[in-house]
Chains A and B, each alone.
Chain A
Amino acid sequence: MTKIDLLFIQIMKSALSDRSFELPAGIAIRDIEQLLQTADHHSVLPFVYEAIIQSLSDLSLHSDAIEKYRNDAVRSVMLQIEKTGRFLQLYRSLRSSGLCPLVVKGLFCRHLYKRPSYRASVDEDVLVSSGDFAQADRMLLSKGLQYMEDYRDVGSEYEILYVQSPEYYEIHKSLFDPDDQVLSCFNRYFKDAEKGSVSFKVDDVELQTLDYSRHMLYLILHVFKHFLFSGFGIRQICDITLLANQYGKDIDWEFVIGSCRELHAYDFMCAVFKISEHYLTLDRLGSGIPEEILDNEIDESTLLEDVMNAGIMGAGDINRLHSSNITLQAVRNRDSEPSDMKRGSSNTHTRHRIMKLKRLMAALFPSYALIKRRYAYLERFPFLLPLSWLQRMISYVKDIRKYKQDNPLKALEIGEARTEILRKYHII
């Protein structure tokens, strides 16, 4: 991690308590600009700018770039205020029609912050039962919302994205893709979610959400999912920190721990909470988190470095996004991967090289099941699978050129490096 990364995390720690941060004397304007760029990368620009605004004035640190970031921060907050307002209106309509959708992530996480509108959300996520989906769909369309994509059969999708600028709404029938080999099993922990739901208030609107135990598990598994793909940013750890601090005593930690163990996410979860305690504002006593999590010997620094490089939802750079092909393949074949302990033997070394080659081949030539969602024609013409591979490779080359990447193999390198991180946290 760079000195800017460390400074950024220190500022975020202050921001979570809504405290100002005093910048070190003599800090260069260039460093401030880099700091703000990092904050923007992690979608926490308003938090960081607000925390250092007094210090910037005291140290007379100004530049056009810093002013641009300030304006971006203000615009981000204004946009979020408007989006929240629109969502509250829509939610009231859904409730008044007899539905009881559960708000997950987004607005729920936002209400945990002292300055809620500083935490931006691209969209609002809502969970409805399969039985309620048709009515919810009709209601949303009647309000002028439109489908974001050209869905062949809305009823068969597990999540539908609606748009009514500037707002995006994701309506889920299940929280994770039920057809995904890796993620489908995550859903079993959220069956009958509406039965134990709890309410929270934003403005004068009462909203329903998952119970706190399931919401904590959902936030952990959500970042775990992104970690398997291409990573996630610091803001997700901030969400988890605040949820633990504010509702930790109402969380069934044994349920969270047990679920994570079953999903090979235990060490990952421990690393997240260790980052939360050592670098952010997790209250060990107040949250009631079991000591086995915070005193776990797992090294959290590797995860933190990955988080800092990833940016929000792992979109740090285009190579990172493409590297998910490698990491996901490693998870799918987790039982075939050589373990850390056996690495010494030449037989395992050979197996390791074979697995690496298999991952590469799977990344270049994914199976029909994995790729059919992206290329709709494959549903009707599955024999065109080789054509879809070619299309995909051309799309990758275009991305490489568009983002001016010199090394076309960098995605593979990142993928292999991140696979080692998965191994370190015993995910594979």
Chain B
Amino acid sequence: MSKRYTQHPDLVLTQVCGEYLLVALRPAFDDCPYVNRLSPVEADYWLLLSEGKDLDEIASICAKKMNIDPRKARLLLLIATKKMLNAGYLTEEETQ
């Protein structure tokens, strides 16, 4: 069994003065913080998730971009996933 993550549809990723922010639109106000900073890794993760890529693919891309071991990249993404689940940005479902 593996996990699949679905992004909340009413969130917008934007950049302000070089910083990534994830901003909730009005329908998401009850589910998520109004706004949160994302690190560059988290921002990349969010964008790649929106393209339909899974965790392993994203880890591979991030590892190449940051020139780090793929296992370390995966660990960073798991931390990011937990943060986003807690914030209501992602929902998780088990898949076969």
A residues sitting closer than 8 Å to B (CB atoms) are 46, 49-50, 53, 70, 73-74, 77-78, 81-82, 85-86, 88-89, 117-118, 203-205
- The 7 closest A-B CB pairs, nearest first, are A85-B34, A203-B26, A82-B34, A81-B35, A74-B19, A73-B17, A77-B16
Residues in chain B near residue A46, CB distance under 8 A:
16-17
A78 and B37 in contact, given A203-B26, A204-B25 (Cβ under 8 angstroms): yes
- The complex places the Cα of A229 from the Cα of B16 at a distance, in Å, of 34
Residue of B nearest to A52 (CB): B17
Do A204 and B26 touch (CB < 8 A)?
Answer: yes
User: Which residue from B21, B27, B29 sits with its C-beta under 8 Å from A77?
Assistant: B21
Contact, CB under 8 Å: A205 / B17 = no
Pair B16/A85 contact, Cβ less than 8 Å: no
Are B26 and A205 within 8 A (Cβ)? yes
Please report the C-alpha to C-alpha distance between residue A203 and residue B10 in the assembled complex, in whole angstroms: 11
Which residues in A have their C-beta under 8 angstroms from that of B35? Answer: 78, 81-82, 85
Asked whether A203 lies within 8 Å of B25 as measured between CB atoms, the reply is: yes
- A258 to nearest B CB, angstroms? 40
Residues from chain A with Cβ under 8 Å of B63 in the complex: none
Instruction: Please determine whether B16 and A50 come into contact, CB atoms closer than 8 angstroms.
Output: yes
CB-CB under 8 A for A49 and B37, given A81-B23, A89-B29, A203-B26: no
Interface size for chain B: under 10, 10 to 19, 20 to 34, or 35 or more residues? Answer: 10 to 19
- Cβ proximity bits B1-29 to A, threshold 8 Å, 1 near / 0 not: 00000000000000011110101111101
Could you list 9 examples of A-B contacts with CB < 8 Å? A53-B18, A74-B16, A77-B16, A77-B17, A85-B29, A86-B34, A88-B29, A117-B16, A118-B16
Q: When the two chains form the complex, which single residue of A50, A53, A204 contacts B27, counting CB atoms closer than 8 Å?
A: A204
Compute how far the CA of A49 lies from the CA of B37 in the bound complex, rounded to whole angstroms.
Answer: 18
Give the complex CA separation of A49 and B24 in angstroms: 23
| Contact status A49-B21, CB under 8 Å | no
A85 touches B17 (CB 8 A): no
| A117 neighbours in B (Cβ, 8 Å) | 16
Taking A46-B16, A50-B16, A73-B16 as contacts, is the C-beta distance between A78 and B27 under 8 angstroms? no
Residues of B within 8 A of A70 (CB): 17-19
Q: How far is the CA of A187 from the CA of B14 in the complex (A)?
A: 41
Q: Which of chain B's residues 37-66 have a Cβ closer than 8 Å to chain A?
A: 37
How long is the Cα–Cα vector from A298 to B61 in the complex, in angstroms?
62
Residues of A close to B18: CB separation below 8 A: 53, 70
Q: Mark B55-87, 1 if CB is under 8 A from A, else 0.
A: 000000000000000000000000000000000
Q: How far is the CB of B81 from chain A (nearest CB, A)?
A: 22
B27 to A, closest residue via Cβ: A204
Q: B25: which A residues are within 8 A, CB to CB?
A: 203-204
Q: How far in angstroms is the closest Cβ of chain B from A11?
A: 14
Task: For residue B11, give the distance in angstroms from its CB to the closest CB of chain A.
Answer: 12
CB distance from A91 to the nearest CB of B (A): 11
Return chain B residues, CB-CB under 8 Å to A77: 16-17, 21
Min C-beta distance of B26 to chain A, whole Å: 4
B26 and A81 contacting across the interface, CB-CB below 8 Å: no
Contact B26 A78 (CB under 8 A): no
Note all chain A residues with C-beta closer than 8 A to B17.
Answer: 46, 49-50, 53, 70, 73-74, 77
Q: CA–CA, A78 to B34, complex, Å?
A: 9
Q: How far is the CA of A49 from the CA of B15 in the complex (A)?
A: 13
| Sample of 6 further A-B pairs with CB below 8 A, known A78-B16, A78-B21, A203-B25 | A50-B16, A77-B16, A77-B21, A82-B35, A118-B16, A204-B26
* B26 partner, pick from A49, A50, A53, A88, beta carbons under 8 A: A88
- Give the complex CA separation of A148 and B35 in angstroms: 26
Task: Give the most central of A73, A81, A86, A88: most B CB within 10 Å.
Answer: A81
| Shortest distance between the CB of B27 and any CB in chain A (Å) | 7
Smallest beta-carbon distance B91→chain A, Å: 21
